[in-house]
Amino acid sequence: MKIALIGYGTMGKLIERLALEKGHEIAAIIDESDAERTAAEIAGKLHGCDVAIDFTTAEAVRRNVEACVLAVVPLVEGTTGWNASRTEIEQIVLDGNGSMVYGANFSIGVNLFYRIAEFAAELFARFPEYQAFIEEQHHSRKKDAPSGTALKLRDLLSHYVNAGDIASTRAGSIPGTHRVGFDGPADQVLLEHIARSREGFALGAVMAAEWVVGKKGFFEFSEVMDEIVGKKTAN
């Protein structure tokens, strides 16, 4: 599989290493030197690629999506912070008969954590004396707060309980920590996911890239996980 990397920072380099280890080829790299290029110019650099993986900035997402649609290259969108433009981005992909997988977090562990947290919320909804809360911590370079993962958790919990405000911390080099708690008068139940490195995010992005090739549409990474979990359960 020929992969285009859009963004060649820490995540881009990590994805490159993991993709090569899995036998894929890095066919194009779009980096900071391409920051001023138009969508059409970026599209020109994507021709011949089977899929693109984007970890850049929220401000660049629309251009990168347009470029992939123009080049007829499926996109894995790993950038966060663009949720307010989600409807617009989805329309660009669907109108152009493109394909894109996006997600607040591509870590397999986090996506299983989503399911655990949602199930816990369903249980605690029967006991109104417990109040739900969400906390998240990330490195000081992460711009968006709350994190996309925390917002996704709040959305899932809101089907059953009120999770209230999200407590966010930006400090040091924390890869990512998320907690979902249920606090009652007599005790507290705490669920936690701790990322030890960014490798889990990169591995999930490569997995999504393998999955989306040959498909058309606008997909959330949870749909990829649903298929994977379903297959493992069947086995």
Number of domains in the chain: 2
The pair phi, psi for residue 125, each rounded to 5°, is -60, -20
Instruction: Give yes or no for a contact between 98 and 68, defined as CB atoms under 8 angstroms apart.
Output: yes
Give 65's Cβ-side CA count (13 Å radius): 30
Same domain, 214 and 101: yes
Dist. CA 172–CA 152, nearest whole Å: 24
Active site residues: 138, 142
Same domain, 15 and 122: no
What does the pLDDT look like over 14-38, one tens digit per residue?
999 999 999 999 999 999 999 999 9
Same domain, 188 and 145: yes
Nearest to 56 by CA among 31, 26, 85, 39: 31
What does the pLDDT look like over 177-225, one tens digit per residue?
999 999 999 999 999 999 998 899 999 999 999 999 999 999 999 898 8
Same domain, 95 and 203: yes
Same domain, 94 and 151: no
The pair of structure tokens assigned to 234 is: 């069947």
Q: What CATH number does residue 38 fall under?
A: 3.40.50.720
The conformation of residue 232, written as its DSSP 8-state character, comes to H
